[in-house]
Amino acid sequence: MTLATAWLEFYPGLQQNPLAILTSIAVILLLYYPSQWLYLYYFHPLASFPGHPAAAFSNRWLLSNYKGFPEREFEKLHEKYQTKALRIAPNELHITDVHQYKTVYNNIRPFLKDPAFYHLPTIPVHSLFAEIDPARHKERRKMLNPLFSRNAVFSLEQTVHEKTNILIRKIERICEGRLVDINNAVRCTTMEVMMEFAFAKAANMLEESDTTFESRILQAFDGYTGSLWDFPLIQKMGAWEMVHEAMEMLVAGSDTTASTLTSGVLHIASNSEVQNRLARSLQETELDANGMLPLAELEKNIFLTACIKETLRIGTPVPGRLPRIVPSDPPFLVDGKVIPPGTVVSISTYTMHMSEELWGPDARVFNPDRWLGSGSQGLDQYFCSFSKGSRMCIGQNLAYAELATIMAWIFRHFQVTLPEGFEPPRQEDRFELAYVTGLPVKISVRK
């Protein structure tokens, strides 16, 4: 029985009196919304957790913070209310207890993904990223693992070098007397690599500025779906499933890597000592017979590795929320309070990587040497650019290969400086960290 039918049974005369019906509807609304608001603010299981007042009533406050950098707004509110569990929606908490990261994102007893966040219209429900069922995710990851193995990435090394070489030659041609937007440059490069990887087609973005991107992507779908049948496990996927995975690879595998490279160029160009030290270390790496910097040799360059790790740490290519649902047991405690089962929680990469408790008072400073000291091995447990646990990013081997190759060639071959009157670029969290205003820099060929 609905509320409306119950009301009619209680007041049978309403059916013959339109004015009474309208009055009753108004009374119901006047009673329902205030009672709902009172419940959410004072009696909801999360009512004792502080947060912006508007966050208790609906998701609108949270959604209004999507445009910009919500993690910085959360950070201010955590400080204002002196809490490690901030209410950011009626049933969601943002957590800054960095020691609970392994609890929320773990292999043994994972907190399940929140379908309201991952099942958006633009995200395929059962793609590797969005799949919330652990068993289905495990099976899908098993299908895709061969594509992202270390051996598979090394087989793609030639492609990464070819695209990087085009990038370097083009910068050489255009850099004199003008600023180069390095953000656009590396975005084109990483997109080229991912197009080859996911679709087995070249986009030629670095060579043809007037390329019609949509038509090339459509053409690439055919190449991708045709080439995948060589992997027996992936034959279990339908055509649209493969298309969805490929599109996810393209977005996640190109823009996140490009964002990291942009962050690396920004911070290294800001510190001449670090830049010169990196350049000297790269000059010591010998080219192979084909004039390439072999990936196996770049991996041995400890200062390059330190610069990449520090860039991933401070650049936080995926800075924001990855919401999970608190299971029924064991009890999950933050700030001495039990978080009710069914609550949506998240601990962001930004929170982890900016924590002075973990990284020291210079947590917001670009310092590659933190990865080279005697206690540096212990830092890896707090490093979560690729997340942790069973949902760790499947493409990290490819990301490291692109980062090492492109960063090595840029700083081996060029001197990069920030222009006069430089202002930090505007950043937005668009799931990946976006440099909205680009990063124009001065580039000159090293003597």
* 393 annotated among ligand-binding-site residues: yes
Degrees (nearest 5) of the Cα angle 308, 312, 316? 165
Q: What is the pLDDT of residues 209-219, one digit of tens each?
A: 532 222 243 23
Q: Residue written as tokens 């390059």?
A: 304
**Residue 244 placed within a domain:** yes
**Residue 280 placed within a domain:** yes
**Residue 196 placed within a domain:** yes
pLDDT at 152 (0 to 100): 86
Mean pLDDT of 343-361: 97
Q: What is the pTM of this model?
A: 0.84
Q: Residue written as tokens 């840029």?
A: 410
Q: Which residue has the higher pLDDT, 103 or 30?
A: 103
- Most confidently modeled of 15-29, 76-90, 250-264, 283-297? 76-90
The amino acid occupying position 181 is: D
Degrees (nearest 5) of the Cα angle 88, 93, 99? 135
Q: Which helix (H) or strand (E) holds 333?
A: strand 332-334
- Asked if residues 134 and 106 have their Cβ atoms less than 8 Å apart, the reply is no
Degrees (nearest 5) of the Cα angle 287, 402, 203? 105
pLDDT at 24 (0 to 100): 59
User: What is the SS3 assignment for 280?
Assistant: helix
383: pLDDT strictly greater than 70: yes
CA distances for 76 relative to 72, 96, 351, angstroms: 6, 12, 12
Q: Say how many domains are in the chain.
A: 1
Q: Are strands 180-181 and 440-445 parallel, antiparallel or unpaired?
A: antiparallel
Euclidean distance between CA atoms 400 and 380, whole angstroms: 15
CA distances for 47 relative to 37, 40, 87, angstroms: 11, 7, 9
Residues of the domain holding 277 = 135-323+367-445
Euclidean distance between CA atoms 119 and 131, whole angstroms: 9
Mean pLDDT of 14-34: 61
Among 126-140, 209-223, 304-318, 347-361, the range scoring the smallest mean pLDDT is 209-223
pLDDT at 213 (0 to 100): 23
Euclidean distance between CA atoms 125 and 36, whole angstroms: 31
pLDDT at 149 (0 to 100): 87
Euclidean distance between CA atoms 58 and 90, whole angstroms: 6
pLDDT at 140 (0 to 100): 79
Please list, in sequence order, all residues whose beta carbon lies within 8 angstroms of the beta carbon of residue 407, skipping any fewer than 6 positions away.
261, 264, 304, 307, 308, 311
Q: Which helix (H) or strand (E) holds 222?
A: helix 213-227
Q: Please, which pLDDT band fits residue 38 given cuts at 50, 70 and 90?
A: confident
Euclidean distance between CA atoms 300 and 304, whole angstroms: 9
Q: Residue written as tokens 């289905």?
A: 136
Mean pLDDT of 22-35: 63
**Residue 382 placed within a domain:** yes
Q: What is the pLDDT of residues 113-126, one digit of tens each?
A: 998 887 665 555 56
E-only strand ranges, 13-171: 85-89, 92-95, 112-113
Q: What is the pLDDT of residues 153-179, one digit of tens each?
A: 888 899 999 999 999 999 999 888 889
**CA 385, 386, 389, 393: dihedral to nearest 10 degrees?**
160
Q: Please, which pLDDT band fits residue 108 given cuts at 50, 70 and 90?
A: confident
pLDDT at 219 (0 to 100): 36
**Residue 111 placed within a domain:** no
Neighbours of 193 (CB within 10 A): 24
Token digits of residue 270: 């800001």
Q: What is the pLDDT of residues 260-307, one digit of tens each?
A: 999 999 999 999 999 999 999 999 998 998 889 999 999 999 999 999
Among 45-49, 76-80, 109-113, the range scoring the smallest mean pLDDT is 109-113
Euclidean distance between CA atoms 313 and 406, whole angstroms: 18
Q: What is the pLDDT of residues 384-437, one digit of tens each?
A: 998 887 778 888 999 999 999 999 999 999 999 999 999 999 998 888 888 988
Euclidean distance between CA atoms 40 and 56, whole angstroms: 6
Q: Which helix (H) or strand (E) holds 309?
A: helix 302-315
**Residue 284 placed within a domain:** yes
Question: How much of the chain exceeds pLDDT 70, in percent?
Answer: 80
pLDDT at 375 (0 to 100): 80
Token digits of residue 43: 């009696």
- Asked if residues 432 and 318 have their Cβ atoms less than 8 Å apart, the reply is yes
Write the DSSP string, 338-364.
EEPTT-EEE--HHHHHT-HHHH-TTTT
Q: What is the pLDDT of residues 45-68, one digit of tens each?
A: 999 999 999 999 998 899 888 778
CA atoms in the 13 A half-sphere facing the CB of 6: 4
Helix boundaries (H) for 100-156: 101-104, 115-118, 134-148, 150-155
**Residue 108 placed within a domain:** no
CATH code for position 391? 1.10.630.10
**Residue 225 placed within a domain:** yes
14: pLDDT strictly greater than 70: no
Q: Which residue has the higher pLDDT, 51 or 228?
A: 51
> For the chain, what is the largest distance between any 2 Cα atoms, rounded to a whole number of angstroms?
94
